[in-house]
Amino acid sequence: MILVVAQSLSKTYATDSVEVKAVQGVSFEITAGSFLSFVGPSGSGKTTLLNLIGCLDKPTSGSLTVAGVDVARLDRAQAAAFRGENIGFVFQSFNLMPVLTAFENIEYPLVMVQNKLPGERRTRVLELLQAVGMSDQKNKFPDQLSGGQKQRIAIARALVTQPKLVLADEPTANLDHETAYTIIRLMKKMRNDLNTTFIFSTHDTRIIGEAEIICTLEDGKLVRCEEAHG
């Protein structure tokens, strides 16, 4: 089943004097359950592409369908609702709410976005805490956790709404190599367990090999998409 379809997708940022073509005529399809990485140097358009797929930004031209919805046509509120139901995000800087505990951070989207009942929330959060190996840290606040632990919580938060797709923009950029590797393996494990599609961007050559499909971007153009070997 195809989850994401992009056709001639372009995004141009215009400032007063300069026009930046961040993504230029990109077309691709992503199958549900993929573990895909966009790779490329800084400024190649990885983040822009993830933002477009994540309905955080709108394409300048071309079409983009996510889970069967033409996301370019969604207004602010519709896009927020769509993200809340279908997409999970993992950020480079973890972006956990500092005033909430690990448990509450994971629970947040269920409370504020999906309005789930307390019993269901608790069950789901505890399952994910177990899955990411953070059960014993559930009452700690983000500033009491290490970078790797924060990212585990962020992954759990991204998955708690049972999204079709998780987008991770440079999820290992702020982590040491060993932790980065662990996080990518964790993401893959979660994909295997939950069959959620994971798309992440990275320019870290050490972890690129963990992706099953690698799409290379250069100057906003998709150069190739290939299945990784090994």
Q: Would you tell me which residues interact with other proteins (CB under 8 A)? A: 51, 54, 56-57, 76-77, 80-85, 87-89, 91, 93, 95, 97-100, 108-109, 111-113, 157-158, 161
Residue 202 in tokens: 């990275």
Q: Which residue pairs, CB below 8 angstroms and at least 24 apart, start in 180-183?
A: 180/204, 180/206, 180/207, 181/206, 181/207, 181/210, 182/148, 183/148, 183/151, 183/152, 183/155
- Nearest distance, CB of residue 74 and other proteins, angstroms: 12
- Nearest distance, CB of residue 227 and other proteins, angstroms: 30
- Nearest distance, CB of residue 57 and other proteins, angstroms: 5
- Nearest distance, CB of residue 106 and other proteins, angstroms: 11
Nearer to other proteins, 40 or 54 (CB): 54
Dihedral angle sign, alpha carbons of residues 222, 224, 226, 230:
negative
Nearer to other proteins, 18 or 99 (CB): 99
Nearer to other proteins, 81 or 213 (CB): 81
What is the spatial distance between Cα 57 and Cα 50, in angstroms, rounded to a whole number? Answer: 9
